[in-house]
Amino acid sequence: MAFLPKERVFSLRWFIDYMYIIVGSFILAVGFVYFISPHKIVPGGVYGIAIIVHYLTHGIFSFWPEGIPIGLFGLILNIPLTYAGIKILGPRFGVKTIVGFVLSSVFMDGITYLRVDGDAPLVHDVLLSCIFGGVLIGFGLGLIFKSKATSGGSDIIAMIIAKYTNMPLGQLMIYVDSTIVLMALLAFKDWQIPLYSWLVIYITGKAIDQTMAGANYNKALIIVSDKHDEIKDKILVNLERGGTYLKGVGMYTNEEKNIIFTVVSRREVAILEEHINLVDPDAFITIMDASEILGEGFRSLRTKMSDK
């Protein structure tokens, strides 16, 4: 079964995807080289293993006095893992994934080699390094994911285990990364390292989600009010937004209710709240973050799908 979509080489979409991979790989490498690896933080994945090996091999090889390069060892691990993934899971790991982890490894070792101070951290505050490193790695991975490539590495291990155990993939990825983090505890015998590492994993995940969803300041509102006509006019006329009436029944009064569902910007929330306070201060309002909105007045589903 083929998992890879057909894509015209040298098309605009092709150039955009590979630009995402190049920029994402570089940003990911910067996060590791300047903020994560200098503090021996191990945020899971093959590069987490590579960081452990890098420090454990310090002074062993004359041609690598600082230890086996992190990018090189990550590449060495990624190649057989990707091959195993293709053999066991099918051709879902395409050229983009290979380009992604090769570039990430090259950028990591290239930046490290060009640095005057080698493995020295850019920021000596470990917590600050965790925050900035996690954000940069997450942003870089998010750009790579936007190109429909994968990060490879430990994700492939989790996918293979999921195939034979039917365990949830997300849960398995946490188990695999946590095992790698605990390996750092055994290697470095410092409890702070796994604690900081789990913090980086959390921040990275949040940064990936934000990058994939994009910056979105829209809010979804559910409004229950007897003065729904006045509120509807404010939404349609003044804010020039749309909405939908939902039919409901009050649990206590058994009265039928017209419930307004609408989506507005963060600024428009304050305007709408002020108006509702004037016409019906007893209205019931639920305000929710909307991570992605598709449809009239916003980005269309057709546009989104054509970008893929």
In single-letter form, the type of residue at position 246 comes to: L
In single-letter form, the type of residue at position 54 comes to: H
pTM: 0.77
- By the 8 A CB rule, do 48 and 181 touch? yes
Q: 11-42: per-residue pLDDT in tens?
A: 888 898 899 999 999 999 999 999 999 999 99
pLDDT at 221 over 70: yes
**Of 215 and 67, which is predicted with more confidence?**
67
Q: From edge to edge, which strands make up the β-sheet containing 284-289?
A: 243-249, 256-265, 218-224, 284-289
Q: For the range 273-282, what are the long-range contacts, defined as Cβ-Cβ under 8 Å and sequence gap of 24 or more?
A: 275/230, 275/231, 275/234, 275/238, 276/223, 276/225, 276/231, 279/225, 279/227, 279/230, 279/231, 280/225, 280/226, 280/227, 280/230, 280/231, 282/225
Tokens of 238: 């003044």
- By the 8 A CB rule, do 303 and 254 touch? no
**Of 216 and 155, which is predicted with more confidence?**
155
- By the 8 A CB rule, do 212 and 220 touch? no
pLDDT of residue 118: 72
pLDDT of residue 4: 47
- By the 8 A CB rule, do 176 and 159 touch? no
Q: 168-198: per-residue pLDDT in tens?
A: 766 788 888 899 999 999 999 999 999 999 9
pLDDT at 126 over 70: yes
Neighbour-count burial of 217, counting CB atoms closer than 10 A to its CB (0-12 exposed, 13-18 middle, 19+ buried):
exposed
Q: 262-303: per-residue pLDDT in tens?
A: 998 888 898 999 999 999 999 999 998 876 666 666 666 566
Q: Binning pLDDT at 50, 70 and 90, where does residue 93 land?
A: low
Neighbour-count burial of 119, counting CB atoms closer than 10 A to its CB (0-12 exposed, 13-18 middle, 19+ buried):
middle
- For 103, the enclosing helix (H) or strand (E) is helix 95-114
Residue from 206, 104, 109 nearest 150 by CA: 104
CATH number of 218-306: 3.30.70.120
- Segment of 120-124, 193-197, 249-253 carrying the highest mean pLDDT: 193-197
Give domain limits for the chain: 12-213, 218-306
